[in-house]
Amino acid sequence: MNLNYLHFGNVTLLITHYNRSQSLRRLLETFSSLNVTFAEIVVSDDCSKSEHLNALKKMAEEMSFTLVTTPKNGGLGHNINKGQAIVTTPYTLYVQEDFVPTPAFASGPFQHAVASMDRDQSIDMFRFYSYILYPYLKPADLHGFSEMYLPFPGLNYKKIYQYSDHPHLRRSNFLEKFGKYKEGVSVDRAEYGMCVAFLRKKGKAYFYNDFKALFIQKNSSDEPSTADRNNWRNSSNIFVRTLRNTYRQIKYNYDIYVA
């Protein structure tokens, strides 16, 4: 356990939630065990089932967070938009409910990210987790972070992921600069739209080099992932992979540089 008490009075923890109230409790309890607190915690729920919504309402009283609900499921884009809309602090730490911070998160990287954004108004975001190493990084004297950049033509199609919905710190006016998330579309399309907007508007972001050290993603049989992924995206068939990668290269470049 981290014995240091860390309070971030200029940061709101924004959590999006859908039908995984046990996972949400685990996330909040983990921050508490690390002695990390924020100016406010906002939980944005996307019309969860009644048993989860009732659990959230009890938790909101117990753990003192602001619960934002909706009468109709609007998808991840809508869920983030409505949660972000009530944030009043300069910075937002965005985390989905199936992640938990590790002790390493409270050991320095997050403090340095907040301090760096205080010093440098050009920084839009710090990323704390990823499935993969971002392909285009340049060294930065920022305590384990590297700056992401976009070369031209940037043949690695994973260049699109300077932005990601994985845990990150951003300025709370993020949606004013890059636009709101697309609503009424799939999780993947909502994230892709923000990825393109971030690159087109030349966002500035940093990537934590040890990208699985600060957060762990946990899904259980009781509360599995709620994301509906297209099988075509994940097929390992060599023919499908070749077509997919060619399509992505053409589409991504068109969307970033032409559309």
Question: Is residue 178 a contact partner of residue 202, using CB atoms and an 8 Å limit?
Answer: no
Average pLDDT over residues 181-202: 95
pLDDT exceeds cutoff 70 at 162: yes
DSSP sequence for 112-128: HHHHHHHH-TT--EEE-
* Pairwise CA distance, residues 252 & 259, whole Å: 10
pLDDT exceeds cutoff 90 at 5: no
**pLDDT, tens digit, 9 for 90 and up, residues 197-227:** 999 999 999 999 999 999 999 986 565 556 5
Report the predicted TM-score, pTM, of the whole model to 2 decimal places. 0.91
Q: Does domain 6-228 correspond to CATH entry 3.90.550.10? A: yes
Which of 63-72, 91-100, 198-207, 214-223 is the least confident region? 214-223
Confidence label for 234 from pLDDT (cuts 50, 70 and 90)? low
pLDDT exceeds cutoff 80 at 41: yes
Q: What is the pLDDT of residue 163?
A: 98
pLDDT exceeds cutoff 90 at 76: yes
* Pairwise CA distance, residues 29 & 195, whole Å: 31
Question: Is residue 96 a contact partner of residue 43, using CB atoms and an 8 Å limit?
Answer: no
* Pairwise CA distance, residues 49 & 89, whole Å: 30
Q: Where in the chain is the domain with CATH 3.90.550.10?
A: 6-228
Picking from 207, 188, 194, 166, the residue whose alpha carbon sits closest to that of residue 255 is 194
